[in-house]
Amino acid sequence: MKIIFFGTPRFAAEILKYLVKKNINIIATVTPPDKKRGRGKKISFCETKEVGIQNNIPVLQPENLNCSKFINKLRAYNADLFVVVAFRILPKIIWSMPLKGSINLHTSLLPKYKGAAPINWVLINGEDETGVTTFFLNEKVDSGKIIFQEKISLTSNITAAELHENLILIGKKILIKTLNTLEKNKSTLYYKENPNSNIKAPKLSKEICKIDWQESARNIHNLVRGLSPLINQNIILNNVSICPCAWFVIEDDNLKRKRVKLLLTEVLEDKMDIKLDFKTDNKSFFYINTIDGILSIKNLQIEGKKPMTIKSFLSGYKISDKSRIT
């Protein structure tokens, strides 16, 4: 079975690497065009392209997916199946091209969490399970018939970065299972319908990432771990690329305001004087009061600085009773 692989970030690259290792016949891969990044504006390309080059797989990088030249190139490969992992939305002229259709590996248990950021939203919403789904592409986003699903349980402290790695592992296996099934042309295979769901996974934004201190300690903790930095995952705000992290603003005695990203937190069962917004010994701990409990800050990042532990932060940034958090 001849397959063309569509993908972009590390998640897709790891899947492609595994398919090659398992001797799946990948005849080409499609990735976004190269981009200029950093101050030096050096040309860089995505991880999926790198895997393609390393394994002598032809790489196509269309600026426009509807470009006739690109579409003709795809047709010339006469592929049996297109496999899509963490890529753009494909137009019908592309996903309907192969004889066996086009399939997608999605990082949620569809129909829940259709959209661009399922790994994040599953944790933000405090779900106790998630998984991966393979399904056929159709006209609607993440709505084609479901082929296979694999569930995993979630702990109350797992971060998006950790979940990302776990889903790579089960994603590899379920995709191989899917490809083997499709290659055998099992006509008796039952494809589940993929109905609409009110639980979506929209793109992340600066507003979504802003911490509301009127929320419960558990909800804030879920936001922090749900936005724990993923490798090479960025959002673009006003042409500035930033990592999607939960954030707040701290104001010191001199009224200087700094934006702080929270990377790791813990919900404490202890109670604290409700009149206090926060408590710290300026050495080893920083507790923030919420409407129903205490949030202990473990790791953070001040705007323009590297990530650090709370001890490192407090060794260089003293917090007083006059400091404010918003």
Asked if residue 149 and residue 35 are part of one domain, the reply reads yes
How large is the average pLDDT for residues 207-213?
92
Asked if residue 260 and residue 156 are part of one domain, the reply reads no
Strands (E), the chain: 3-7, 26-30, 35-37, 42-44, 59-60, 81-85, 102-106, 114-115, 129-136, 146-153, 200-201, 235-237, 240-242, 246-251, 257-268, 278-280, 286-289, 294-302, 308-309, 324-325
In this prediction, residue 19 has a pLDDT band, given cuts at 50, 70 and 90, of very high
Asked if residue 309 and residue 273 are part of one domain, the reply reads yes
Domain boundary pick from 180, 201, 222: 201
Containing domain of residue 250, as a range?
A: 206-325
In whole angstroms, give the CA distance from residue 8 to residue 233.
11
Asked if residue 220 and residue 149 are part of one domain, the reply reads no
The pLDDT tens digits of the residues spanning 305-325 come to 889 999 999 998 888 878 888
Asked if residue 95 and residue 215 are part of one domain, the reply reads no
In whole angstroms, give the CA distance from residue 266 to residue 287.
10
Asked if residue 79 and residue 99 are part of one domain, the reply reads yes
- The reported pLDDT for the residue numbered 113 is 96
**In the predicted structure, residue 42 carries a pLDDT above the cut 90:** no
Prediction pTM value:
0.91
Domain boundary pick from 183, 201, 219: 201
- The reported pLDDT for the residue numbered 230 is 59
Total domains present in the chain: 2
Helices H / strands E in the chain, number of each: 9, 20
Q: The CATH number of the domain where 29 resides is what? A: 3.40.50.170
Asked if residue 272 and residue 178 are part of one domain, the reply reads no
The pLDDT tens digits of the residues spanning 98-112 come to 999 999 999 999 999
Type of residue found at 169: L
In whole angstroms, give the CA distance from residue 180 to residue 196.
28
Asked if residue 188 and residue 43 are part of one domain, the reply reads yes
Type of residue found at 48: T
Q: What is the 8-class DSSP label of residue 61? A: -
Coil, helix or strand for 324?
Answer: strand
In this prediction, residue 189 has a pLDDT band, given cuts at 50, 70 and 90, of low
In this prediction, residue 236 has a pLDDT band, given cuts at 50, 70 and 90, of very low
Domain boundary pick from 201, 222, 243: 201
Cβ neighbours, 10 Å, residue 121: 23
Asked if residue 177 and residue 134 are part of one domain, the reply reads yes
The pLDDT tens digits of the residues spanning 260-299 come to 999 999 999 776 665 668 889 999 999 998 888 899 999 9
Asked if residue 226 and residue 159 are part of one domain, the reply reads no
Residue with tokens 């929209």: 202
- Burial (CB < 10 A; 0-12, 13-18, 19+), residue 288, is buried
- Report yes or no: 48 and 55 within 8 Å, Cβ to Cβ: no
Q: How does the average pLDDT of the chain come out, rounded?
A: 89
The pLDDT tens digits of the residues spanning 193-204 come to 777 888 999 988
Question: Among 38-47, 59-68, 123-132, which is the least confidently predicted range?
Answer: 38-47
- The reported pLDDT for the residue numbered 277 is 86
Asked if residue 194 and residue 257 are part of one domain, the reply reads no
